[in-house]
Structure 1
Amino acid sequence: MLRSISPKKSIRCRLLLLALGVELVMLTLLVANDLRLLHRAMIDQAHWQAQQMLPVLNAALKAPLARRDFASVQAMLDESRTARGIDYIVITDHVGAIMASSGWTAGHKIPQPSCSLPFFSFHQLKRYDDALPILQSGQKQGTLHLGLNLSPVTSARQNLLIEGIGIAVASLLLSALMFLLIGSWLTRHLSSLTRASLQVASGNLGPPPLSEGDDDIGHLGAAFNTMSRAISERVRELTYAKELAEASERAKSESEERLRLVLAGTEEAFWDWDLIHDRIDFSTRWAEMVGFTPEELEPYGDSWERLVHPDDLAAAMKILNEHLEGRTPSIEAEYRVRTKSGAWRWILDRGRVVQRASDGHPLRAAGTHTDITRKKIMEGLLGERTMMLEREIAERKQAQEMLAAQQAELEILNQSLQLRVDEAVAELRQKDQILISQGRQAAMGEMIGNIAHQWRQPLNALAMLISNLQYAQQDNQLTARYLNESATTANRLIQKMSTTINDFRNFFAPGKEMVSFSAMAQIRQAVDLVDAACRSSNIAITVDAENDCILRGFPNEYSQVLLNLLSNAREAIIGTGPRAGRIAITLREQEGMGVVTVRDNGGGIPEAILEKIFEPYFSTKSMGTGIGLYMSKMIIEGNMGGALTARSIDGGSEFSVFTPLAEKRS
């Protein structure tokens, strides 16, 4: 029975698909070429714009750069970036270090100039990079880097691509409609002929007559009408003859069909063995099992023996002979047979003798062959999995026993280790207390020297005041008023000296608990204690803080850390030789921390010992104890939850003290 023609395979559909395919290729090439030309034009426009801006900026920046007027350079960069659609402008010196920038994040690597822009990922690009050397009297003073914002360009390209795709889709839809109408008009008669042919094929031998005419389609319709009438008459004759033949064969075919259905349903092969003539009739299913055609299999017993695996043949023949001799009720054997391809398949052979002579001699036997290869494979896999599982169970049991033994050993080691850890922690705490005590004593020695500097000026003033009183008394100019004024001045000087003693006593009083305190107050207190000693050594101390920070911790210990950093800075500056020294102190907030930075121009810290300066008893001073920085780091990081860092800067060193803000800890 013929099937109806699928719309996808009709001439009308194929013509439509061919036309649409050609038009789709042409539209794709057209849009791709437009995008290529636009891409080239956009690249040229970005390059031209960069080449127009770079010389202008270069000429405008030469004079400020020659004067090292970086404020003017920065102003020009900011104005140029905001007014001309530029993402960033960076000026680097001859070694690549950034001199000035606008719109660029510090610490990021400056990109190389864009030689070309990728065509397919162009929509992901947001910037065009370019660079131009800055020349002064023929010598390169630096490089001007510039990044143009490509967002408008990529947006325009995206819009053009969307419009092109929209036009292409609309064109394809209109073309499809036009070609569909033309194809329907050209094939309108072929559809009628196809429908009539399908009706005849389905058994309707009297379809409606087709239209006849003088053109090719009309002649084809007339020929089809003649053929349809002839087929109708011949079919009636054949139908009568067929009914007679079917009536005679119906009884025979019914019994054969039952047997075929039973065998087909069980997927088993049938064999019938005539033992008198040693002839075996095999079913088609047996030929399929072993990969041969029925004609290639010889109907004799030795052909079966040649297919059986040599290792299985003896056992199979024993089972067969025992049944033929009447010692077993049936045949049931499993063995391997070789297929035509050379592979081996497992067969279950079951049967019995169906006819014997009067003396019991077998005359005829019949049975079935069943393919049990998959079953054997599954049994093999199951056996392997069982063995693997048994081995895994044994290994796991052994591992559990070993683990239990190791666990017991580990518990014993843990108990011993805990005792040693406790002893080590107690010893370390005792050493830390000794270090803190030594640090306090060393700081106290420093403070005594600072107090000596603090007292020198008021003591000199008191000596002069006493001398003046003596001279006034000798010259009879000592009046009550002059005496009172001198006494007031002397009391003020003595009070200042007493205040120094109180500050010294409070400075070394250990804190009992963490409190909130002013960072600026502690900075001022530490500076006041070393200011006189620094001024006598020609060292200036500056404090820069926009706002005060309220910290959480131990204020006296915090001041002791600052005093230690200031004393180290003073000694480093003095050690570098006679010159004007500078100690700069800054205070700022950073990510929930109050940060105090102490910078000096004392020559810096050698890179080889930078990681060792916080170790106990490590010192570069001939008379140093090596515990000041260790104690400071322990106070800030161990007791106050902060951090103390150090690094070398140009001509000096920088120490930063990070301490949690009171608001963040509450």
Structure 2
Amino acid sequence: MTFSAVHPDEAERLALLHSTHLLQAQGSESAQAFQALARMLSRLLQVPTTAINLIDSHRVQALARTGLNLPPLARSDAPCTHLLQTPQPVCVRDLRDDSRFQHLAANTALQGMVAYAGVPLWVDGQVLGTVCAFDAQARDWSDEALAHLQDVATAASAMLLGAVTAHRAQHAEERVRTASLAGSDWLWETDVNGQLTWVSAGLLQHTGLEPETEIGMKVTSVISPRDDDTRASWDSYQQARARHAPFQDLIADRNTPRGRITVSISGTPILDAQGECQGYRGASRDITRQLSAEQAARRADQLLRKAIETFHMSVVITDREGMIVLANRHWRQSMGAAYEPGQKHWPSILRQLTLSGDYPEAVGREEEFLHWRLGLHHQDRAHEIRFRDRWLLVRDETLDDGSTVHFAMDVTQTRENAELLTTQRQALHDSEARLSAVLRALPDLWFVIDADDRYVDGHMDHPQLLGEMPKMIGQLMGAHLPDDIGQRQRDAVALARASGQPRTLNYDLRGHDQVLRHFEARITPMPAGQLLYLTADITERKNAAEKLRVSEELYRSVAATISDGLIIIDLDGRVVALNPAACRILGLPAGLPSLNEAVGSAFDLLEDDLVTPLPRERWPLSETMRTGLRVTDRVVPARRADHEIVWLQMSANLIRVDRDTPPFAAMATFRDITRERLTVQDLALSEERWKFALEGAGDGVWDWDMPSGCMYYSTRWKQMLGYEDHEITDTPEEYFLRVHPEDRDAVAHSTMRFVTESVGVQQVEFRLRHRQGHYLHILSRGKVVSHSRDGKPLRVVGTHSDISVLKQAEQAERQREFAEAASAAKSEFLSRMSHEIRTPLNAITGFAQLMRLQMGQGSGDNPLRNYIEQILHAGRHLSGLVNDVLDLQQVEAGIVKLKPEPITLADELVQCLSMLLPMAEQREISMSSYIEPDATVLADRQRLRQVLMNIGSNAIKYNRDGGSVVVRAERQADDTVLLSLQDTGTGMTAAQLARLYQPFERLGRETSSVAGTGLGLIITRSLVESMGGHMDIVSQPGAGTRVSVTLPGAHTVGPQDEVAELRETPAAVTPEDGSPDWMTVPATPMSASADLPALRVLYVEDNRINALLFAEALRPYAEIALDIAEDGDIAMSMARENPPHVLVLDAHLPGMSGFEVLEAMRQLPPLADAPAFMCSADAMPEDLARAKQAGFTGYWTKPIDIVAVTTELCRLAQTLPRVAHNATP
């Protein structure tokens, strides 16, 4: 026990003492227990008097005693009081000689007591008393006596603490009972099945039900879920019960004599010492009224919120602290991207908007604006402010509870309407002024006529005016003109006024020169019954129109007779003319009501894909009008009115009256060239297909005219051989002389078949010489396409296909299959080599281990011990060499299976350095590390440890005595981790570094005392690269070596599973070469016990030497009984007769394999779950994986580690009474 100092507050100690109630507990069961402790202490110490005392404020009272009948003593008269000031054990040989206790010699109650020993009695951090012993003779108290005193004091303290705890629990229970009656809750308790085992008395008060009526009922039969928004609490409760987790605020209904009520229930699980759930404790409360009130409040709140959401103005409600309680949709939308759901502080939002410039009027005076805006609730009126590009009418109202409602209405449109009205009025005024100015600037004669047909205004000095304008004001319209003309003017004015629409009037009138001229007047109604009379002299235009009419008649007669289509449009894009041929070509019917409508929508010019309409600006007519350039014979596709596609050849040009005048229209002529186009396309398509077929296939074509002896070679045929088109003549020799000598007979035979058979396609494969000297593999196909009348071939046409790539692929496939076969053979050889080496090596190293164990752990110079050490050292070296060769084979074959995971580099380095420390200490090499805490890599844990152990052991093995090794790990900028090991060894030259990664290369250290195989670094570098990293080695003679490993970094470290599913033989690291040391710690044989059964081990091994080794290894262990069987049949018989506790199986057995033996033994009920170990010389990864899948507990690779094997079996023997199966013979 660990004791703290006595609390200085004596009142706290006395309160704790009185809470035990043991000062008044004489004669109780607890007092009898204390008395038994006192008697036991008297027997143990062999003293006449012992006591268990409690120290009150003024006395020392014996809770239990033996010997003297001591009455309660004053604190000053008792030696025990000293322990309050110095709470440590006190031993006094003679009270009479000790100055601390000489004043007690006169105490008659203690007469005859000379020696004293006491220890404090601690309870809950306080010294409540002592456990002491008296002897009538002076004596020295031994350590054993003090231990007895301390043990009794510990027991007494525990009993006193139990009394305190019980009193506190009782007091707490009374408080809970009283509180439950006074409160609104009642308490309950259930078992693990949900049955009520206790209900507090508050149930009667709150429901009218007696608590006893609930006992034994299931909770789910008492309450039921509600079909409303509280249903989720029932689902949460069910999930918590399933997980044995606490639950809170389960809302449910239940029936009571007072009617159906709603309750809120919370509970927590009751867990035993093992953490198993034994039931629940909790509380229930009637919330019927509360729930109804809350639901009503929620409904009212929801209605209010919905109403506010529908407002077409922004509404925000804030509390006293300025936090937003409610904000409607209109406000959220108006905020736009500035609205953040997490931001609820109204002043902060206003500040953010102000500083970001959303209030233009606040720019430059932000703080002043914020102070004014936040104080609007003190002003009883609305304000117009600018928010972004809108105008808002804002007002803040403070409510009785201190909250504030912020209103904002968008009045932008209202302001814009007012501004628009002002603008329109000004525009009207300006328009009237401009109209007056325009009228006076017009070259035509105009008048303004009032509602009585009288002149009110007019052109004052127009040359066509027949009269004086000032005199005409107020006169009847037309009064100064001939009667017929005046009457016609007044009739036209009346019609315009009646219809409200403009009218046109044409008439002839002689001017001042008495020449008859043509006039056109336009009469337009104006406000207030007035009219505008505008007249113009159209004499010249009318004469030009007549000339144009005659010209058009001439044009129409010409256009109707030509076969090409013709279309004319004016400069505004309106169709002026379209001849019959154009209607026929475009598929337009004759007699269309609207020429522009028909032409504009009935056909389209198209892109070359014959689907996409050609944009109007790219039509030939549009292009001519835009650029002024002539378009000649452009071919475009068109979709006719009947959706037929035609090809047109179009020309377009501008029309002028003469060269010096601007154009007034544009004309296009076109003809249908669809048939010609299709014919040309068919020919081009046929030619294109032929070219595409040849070019797509990549074949060369040859054409042999046999009578003339000429042979045509296509361009591709020549290119295949590396020649240009002009570099090969049209002779057969160009073909046949390039054939490979070995293939000429096959080509000649194929050629003869053209003459002899002349039917079908002839095919042959051969090689042709390329210009660069190499040969191409050619597949030649040919056919006679023309014969003479007597059947002789006249013309043969064929193709050459380059199949060199195909041939190379076939060769590569054959080489791949050969390489795979060689790799499989290599793996099989290595596996067999490993097995054949490990089997005799198991006997060599195994018996050497036994000899070393039998010789003991002495350190004397024993030649035999040295011989054994040399045997073990050679065995370890050979075993390590086999392991390295197997690892190297896996790396080279690319079959290393990696399980990358985030790994904290610091943890792995600490483990590896601790294993390497004994090796370093032997040579007095110091090791230091500087590792960043966040240096985490993504790697395979097992392979990473292999890498660290290899480079770490090398740094020690090739170092100098008394040297150092510095390990650093730091994260790089590119998210990788750099690990470096710097040693102070002899270093290496550049030539040695160049040979460093050669297999079995030791760099001249083959005969040195440093052990190794020359494969470790090759394997290490390959593993690093397999994990996505790289390794660099820098070294100089005399300057040591620095090994750097860069691995990909990781950000998080997942849970680490340190439990191996298949246990392998544990190994330590020796200071010599880093290989496993089989003799690290020998297992200690246990002494056989009559009541502890021996662990029965059945070892199935056909090799008698291995069986003998196993038997000799287990001979010193009486707690292990070994049976050996040579094959599976014998093993099955022995297992049926006397089922073992543990199975050890060799993989290769006569008849049944070790895997088959295990499968058969698992069928025996006693052996269904028995531990099973594979003991085999097979060490390939697939062997371990197969053993794991077969259900083996562990895997002992030969040569076995005898200490590890015996340690594992001894561990199983120690746990036998708890885990051994119940099958006995």
The structure with more radius of gyration = 2
Query: What TM-score, normalized by structure 1, do the two folds share?
Result: 0.29
Query: What TM-score, normalized by structure 2, do the two folds share?
Result: 0.16
Name the structure where strand makes up a greater proportion of residues: 2
